[in-house]
């Protein structure tokens, strides 16, 4: 970006670079694709301009979310899925998220360790992302990154979340199909009937199937998850999903062909019956994240920084309650009259 | 975009099986606020170049203890150049005899970090020398 250039010139330069990178990425240039993903992660004007071009081309890929507790085998399962998918000759992209440090902002992105066998294969593209303070299991820009990979022609996109606990359900809004991994002996039947992560699963996978207890864990999950009442259900009320429960041993590939088949079945079923509500929910999640970002940016811009800081100080010292503070800040944006 | 974290690939090319140093550095750079991609042991130059490209890193840090640096490092820098990543900062850490340093610099290595280098020294060098980006 040119220092000191007029904003209009900067914007034109961003659009020109975005067009160049987008055309190249669509034509198969992996370096251009990687640079676009960086722009998306950093929320640059280039990313915005590129999105205008790429978003209409996206929406074709199957987005599969892979989530589960730390160490349950998400990366190993993703690697096993890559092998299976490449065996069928289909291109596949991975967005693998690891947490950013809440203290330093740094991150250790270690998911590639399990996926390095595909360096020479142009049909595989793997990108690590740091969560950068976003708390839902993905980075705030993961959905946009997936849209770029989708537009670049990847037919299957695996979104691997950070290691999750019980309630990081955001991936379900980002993905067409959500796979929740469990490790054997991680909990009893009461864990399986708690609300949260397991509820958003389209497929539940008990990984490390060669470990003792895998069969029993799967049986418990099946009993509890499938026991959802459907008879006499009021169709106007939201109903939990009834996920299939599979067993895999990702390290050996056992059960992975069945998992890919289940993913493909879910995709085919979704093609016919994906509810407009689910698509709207994804659109809302994306737009809402951007609205929030832009609000925050405006509250810290030159015109508003002073009032924002003063209002936060007033809340910190308990002179103003947080609700009133939010009203003050929103009113200030609506009426951009300097103090 | 000056406030974004720098992204660093820490890679171990070749066959030596000792990655404690690479892991300590990866962890240390994380604490210095870098986003560090770690790819594990026994990486080929092709694996390293592909990871650097797909991750669009600012820095590639190679850790070598086996003595094969004169073979492996120039292959990594050559692949990076071939794939249009000649602006990526390449550094090498490990056991590198002083006599090999000029040839490695000639091959495109920006700095060589020997035993006793502190993580703060590495972090300072990377911040000062990583390319400015769009």
Task: Give the H or E element holding residue B92.
Answer: strand B89-94
DSSP 8-class letter at A42: T
Confidence category of residue B3, pLDDT binned at 50, 70, 90:
low
Give dist(CA A50, CA A145) in Å, integer: 11
Chosen from B10, B25, B30, B84 to mutate, greatest number of chain A CBs within 10 A: B30
CB contact under 8 A, A119 and B50: yes
B54 contacts in chain A (CB < 8 Å): 30, 34, 125-127
* Cβ contacts of B35 within 8 Å, gap of 6 or more: A100, A106, A107, A109, A130, B5, B6, B7, B8
Residue B62: φ, ψ to 5°:
-105, 130
| Inter-CA distances, A242 with A6, A176, A201, Å | 56, 15, 8
Report yes or no: A101 at the B interface, CB cutoff 8 Å: yes
Q: How many CA atoms lie within 13 Å of A176's alpha carbon, on the beta-carbon side?
A: 25
Residue A193's pLDDT is 74
Task: Give the H or E element holding residue B48.
Answer: helix B45-55
Inform me whether the pLDDT recorded for B131 exceeds 90. no
Report yes or no: B53 at the A interface, CB cutoff 8 Å: yes
User: Phi-psi bin for A253: left (phi > 0), alpha (psi -120 to 50), beta?
Assistant: left
A101 contacts in chain B (CB < 8 Å): 30-31, 33
CB contact under 8 A, A109 and B36: yes
CB contact under 8 A, B40 and A116: yes
Give dist(CA A275, CA A77) in Å, integer: 28
Structural tokens at position B17: 């099986």
Shortest alpha-carbon distance between residue A126 and chain B (Å): 6
Strand A62-67 vs strand A177-182: parallel, antiparallel, or unpaired? Answer: parallel
Task: Give the H or E element holding residue A323.
Answer: helix A322-334
Give dist(CA A40, CA A161) in Å, integer: 18
Give dist(CA B5, CA B8) in Å, integer: 9
Domain ranges of chain A: 1-57, 58-231+238-274, 288-334
Class of domain B7-127: alpha beta
Residues A198/A228, Cβ–Cβ less than 8 Å:
no
Give dist(CA A333, CA A318) in Å, integer: 23
* Cβ contacts of A108 within 8 Å, gap of 6 or more: A98, B26, B27, B30, B36, B38
Chosen from B8, B19, B37 to mutate, greatest number of chain A CBs within 10 A: B37
Strand B59-64 vs strand B35-38: parallel, antiparallel, or unpaired? Answer: unpaired
B53 contacts in chain A (CB < 8 Å): 30-31, 34
A105 contacts in chain B (CB < 8 Å): 5, 33
* Alpha-carbon radius of gyration of chain B: 13
Residue B1's pLDDT is 39
Chosen from A39, A97, A101, A106 to mutate, greatest number of chain B CBs within 10 A: A106
Other CB atoms within 10 Å distance of the CB of residue B84 = 14
Domain ranges of chain B: 7-127
CATH number of A58-231+238-274: 3.40.50.300
Residue B2's pLDDT is 45
Residue A223's pLDDT is 85
CB contact under 8 A, B36 and A120: no
CB contact under 8 A, B36 and A30: no
Of A177, A247, A242, which Cα lies nearest the Cα of A212?
A247
* Closest Cα in chain B to A46: B134
CB contact under 8 A, A31 and B37: no
Tens place of pLDDT per residue across chain A (339 aa): 445 567 788 888 999 999 999 999 999 999 999 999 999 999 899 999 999 999 999 988 999 999 999 989 999 999 999 999 999 999 999 999 999 998 999 999 999 998 888 888 999 999 999 999 888 888 888 999 999 999 999 999 999 999 887 777 888 888 889 999 998 887 777 777 777 788 888 999 999 999 999 999 999 888 887 665 556 667 666 666 788 999 999 999 999 999 999 999 998 887 665 656 667 877 888 888 889 888 998 999 999 999 999 999 999 999 999 999 999 999 999 875 554
Give dist(CA A148, CA A170) in Å, integer: 19
Nearest-CB residue to A34 (from B29, B49, B54): B54
Average pLDDT on B115-126 reads 95
User: Phi-psi bin for A28: left (phi > 0), alpha (psi -120 to 50), beta?
Assistant: left
């Amino acid at each position: 970006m040119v220092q000191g250039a007029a904003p209009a010139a900067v914007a034109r330069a961003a659009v020109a670079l975005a067009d160049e990178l987008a055309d190249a990425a669509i034509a198969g240039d992996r370096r251009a694709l990687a640079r676009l993903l960086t722009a998306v992660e950093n929320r640059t004007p280039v990313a915005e301009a590129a999105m205008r071009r790429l978003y209409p081309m996206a929406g074709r890929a199957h987005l599969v979310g892979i989530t589960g507790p730390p160490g349950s085998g998400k990366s190993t399962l993703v690697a096993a899925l890559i092998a299976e998918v490449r065996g069928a000759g289909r291109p596949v992209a991975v967005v693998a998220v690891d947490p950013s440090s809440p203290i330093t902002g740094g991150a250790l992105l270690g998911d590639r360790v399990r996926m390095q066998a595909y360096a020479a294969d142009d049909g595989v593209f793997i990108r690590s992302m740091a969560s950068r303070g976003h708390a839902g299991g993905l980075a705030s820009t993961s959905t946009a990154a997936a849209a770029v990979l989708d537009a670049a022609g990847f037919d299957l996109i695996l979104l691997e979340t950070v290691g999750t606990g019980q309630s990081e359900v955001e991936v379900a809004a980002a993905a067409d199909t959500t796979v929740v991994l469990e490790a054997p002996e991680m909990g009893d039947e009461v864990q399986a009937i708690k609300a949260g992560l397991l509820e958003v699963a389209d497929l539940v996978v008990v990984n490390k199937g060669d470990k003792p207890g895998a069969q029993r864990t799967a049986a418990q999950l099946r009993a509890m998850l499938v026991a959802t009442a459907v008879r006499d259900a009021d169709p106007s009320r939201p109903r939990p999903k009834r996920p299939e429960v599979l067993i895999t041993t990702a390290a050996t590939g056992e059960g992975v062909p069945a998992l890919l088949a289940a993913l493909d079945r879910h995709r085919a079923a979704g093609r016919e019956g994906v509810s407009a509500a689910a698509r709207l929910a994804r659109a809302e999640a994306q737009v809402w994240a951007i609205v929030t970002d832009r609000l925050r940016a405006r509250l810290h811009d030159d015109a508003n920084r002073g009032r924002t800081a003063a209002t936060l100080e007033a809340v910190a010292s308990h002179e103003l309650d947080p609700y009133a503070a939010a009203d003050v800040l929103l009113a200030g944006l609506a009426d951009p009259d300097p103090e | 975009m000056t406030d974004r974290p720098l992204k660093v690939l820490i890679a171990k090319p070749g066959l030596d099986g000792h990655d404690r140093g690479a892991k300590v550095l990866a962890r240390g750079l994380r604490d210095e606020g870098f986003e560090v991609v770690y790819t594990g042991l026994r990486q080929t130059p092709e694996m390293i170049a592909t990871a650097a490209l797909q991750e669009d890193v600012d820095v590639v840090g190679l850790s070598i203890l086996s003595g094969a640096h004169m073979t492996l490092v120039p292959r990594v820098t050559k692949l990076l150049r071939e794939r249009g990543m000649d602006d990526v900062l390449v550094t090498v850490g490990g056991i590198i005899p002083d006599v090999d340093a000029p040839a490695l610099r000639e091959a495109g290595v920006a700095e060589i970090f020997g035993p006793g280098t502190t993580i703060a020294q590495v972090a300072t060098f990377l911040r000062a020398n990583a390319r400015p980006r769009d």
